[in-house]
Structure 1
Amino acid sequence: MKLSTQAQPPLAGPKINHPRSHGEQPSHTPLRPMWFCRADGQQWPCAEARLLLRAEFADNMPGLSIYLAGMFYEATKDLYRLNPHDGQTPIELFQRFVAWGPLRKPIAEDR
């Protein structure tokens, strides 16, 4: 199962997604615009979604970084629209969506 293809943001801008029951367990994809996991109700990306995304992008870590940055951008727009005054800060959203992704080397090493 590829989460990145299931959770792509719509081209025409944010769209509210409503879960559909097909008799199977829901996948660990975001329920927009609140950005909760469809399967377990945790903030997306939940722990299971993170594991699945890492496995899906195992051979493409730059692709995972780009995907997470795109989801961060979409979530920031949605969540700010829902709660512009006392929602998560940009730093908290970055930690939630991007910082857990592939490890990066520091820009400059101390000598």
Structure 2
Amino acid sequence: MTTHAPVLPLWTCGGCGAPWPCRTRRRELCAEYDRAPASLALYMGSCLVAASQDLSWAPAGLLHRRFVGWLA
């Protein structure tokens, strides 16, 4: 279990306080979904949808880069 889980509704990292997903959590997610990149993309897409509701003031492009833009 990671300490780098999102703190809602602000979507900050519970482990380090950075915007979630933080660098550490991104590495963990890549390792967890190593053989299932499409599943990781779906998961992060669902987080993007939830975050866009909580962070309605944030620009859509910024949220997109934050939640799915880092996926390779």
TM-score bracket for the superposition, by shorter chain length: over 0.9
Alignment of 1:54 onto 2:8: no
Give the match for residue 54 of structure 2.
78
- Structure 2: gaps spanning 5 or more residues: none
2:25, 2:48 → 1: CA distance? Answer: 14
Give the match for residue 40 of structure 2.
64
Alignment coverage as a number of residue pairs:
72
The structure whose residues are more often helix, as a share, is 2
1:90, 1:38 → 2: CA distance? Answer: 23
- Structure 1: gaps spanning 5 or more residues: 4-26, 81-86, 104-111
> Max radius of gyration: which structure?
1
Counting aligned pairs with the same residue, the percent is 33
Q: Structure 2 counterpart of 1:90, which letter?
A: A
1:79, 1:43 → 2: CA distance? Answer: 12
1:46, 1:78 → 2: CA distance? Answer: 18
| TM-score using structure 1 length | 0.62
RMSD value, Cα: 1.1
1:68, 1:32 → 2: CA distance? Answer: 15
